[in-house]
Amino acid sequence: MDSRLPKLRDALAGLAAHRAAPVAVAPSGAPILLANNESPLEPLPSVAAVIAEAAARVNRYPDAGCAELAADIAGWLGVDAERVVPGCGSVGVLQMLFEAVGEPGGDAVYAWRSFDAYPALARLAGLRPVTVPLAGDHHDLTAMAAALTPATRVVIVCNPNNPTGTAVRSGELLDFLDRVPRDCLVVLDEAYREYVRDPGVPDGLELARERPNVVVVRTFSKAFGLAGLRIGYLVAHPGLAGEVRKTRLPYSVSHLAQVAARASLRASGELMDRVERTVKERERVLAALADLNLPVAPSEANFVWLPLRDRAADLAAACAAAGVNVRAYPGDGVRVTIGLPEDNDAFLGAVSHWHTHGEVGAACPR
Ligand SMILES: *Cc1c(COP(=O)(O)O)cnc(C)c1O
């Protein structure tokens, strides 16, 4: 049989299919999931009830325009609904934006390391990724401004940055925006906005209000605890929002996702209390890591970053052996989601054991 494939796009050659990492299970019980920056808590009863009720109606298509959801998001944020575009997770929203600006010969500029979905989304939209190294664990906005050329179609600032957790502040971000040409899209990826406590970190919505080339992307996956339902949104100038709406895959935001997000907004008080507990745990974990004299970046997100360089894979392996799943970026660092207090204690136990006993396998036979 002829096994040749049809002609495929060159862009696919540089990509790998996304797949889940294997989950390490503790000898003593359930795995501890600190690798994906999810909420550790199950949906609120009020949200779960709405999802269950909606499940009985999945024979019908969802609202293709997400109109009621967009109105509710707009109400919660205090912006006009015509500025809001929901999508299939904020990754889906990012894909819509890249589709809207991507043209062969164009560039996408972003920091590295940053969110690992950017390279593939850029390539699939026909854009050439142009990466600007972080300065330590922080965005280098001066270098990013210098990397912009007439070919740049989009520049992304992930604020706070995934995986390093650091946030850019108002002065430097305003200076940067002033240097971006008016015809180049700026994406402020604020997936972790609800966890930010540093008052010097700007609210992207205020920046997007004045600048038609600036768009803010947020999600229900993290602070709102709906990662499994795939729902995110952007806030942009009404004209830009109208154009980007054309790129949404029809019906890609399910009915379950739409009603669950609306119910979550109605329960936002309870959900923001959960966020506050996560922020308190973040501060506790950061302090404990500093006490161990481990390198750790300041964090404005629901995770912490240890820039361990060539020891990163080793720490991740030590955690996995204890059933604690963290995210390793070998040669670079380890990202650890803030979970429930007992999960964080399990991580801190594994990290201090590793720190005291050194290399995996040497001093702690398993
Ligand atoms: C988690 C994350 C997202 C979001 O994902 P969705 O689940 O697709 O909404 C987007 N951007 C960054 C930087 C993230 O870390």
Please give the average pLDDT of every successive group of 10 residues along the chain, which has 366 residues: 90 87 84 96 97 96 97 98 98 98 96 97 96 98 98 98 98 98 98 98 96 98 98 98 96 97 97 98 98 97 98 96 96 97 97 83 41
With a 6 Å cutoff on the Cβ, whether 261 touches ligand 1 is no
Looking at the CA of residue 231, tell me the nearest atom of ligand 1: 9
Alpha helices in the chain (DSSP H): 45-55, 67-77, 89-101, 118-124, 141-146, 170-179, 204-210, 238-245, 255-266, 268-291, 312-321, 341-357
Task: Select from 38, 115, 166, 302 the residue to mutate for testing ligand 1; criterion: most ligand atoms less than 8 Å from CB.
Answer: 115
Looking at the CA of residue 91, tell me the nearest atom of ligand 1: 8
Q: Are the C-beta atoms of residues 98 and 89 closer than 8 Å to each other? A: no
> Residue 107: its pLDDT value, please?
98
- Helices 45-55 and 255-266 cross at an angle (nearest 10°) of 160
Q: Are the C-beta atoms of residues 315 and 289 closer than 8 Å to each other? A: no
With a 6 Å cutoff on the Cβ, whether 114 touches ligand 1 is no
> Residue 26: its pLDDT value, please?
80
pTM: 0.96
> Residue 323: its pLDDT value, please?
95
With a 6 Å cutoff on the Cβ, whether 233 touches ligand 1 is no
Strand partners, 155: 109, 186
> Residue 359: its pLDDT value, please?
52
- In the 8-state DSSP scheme, what is residue 90? H
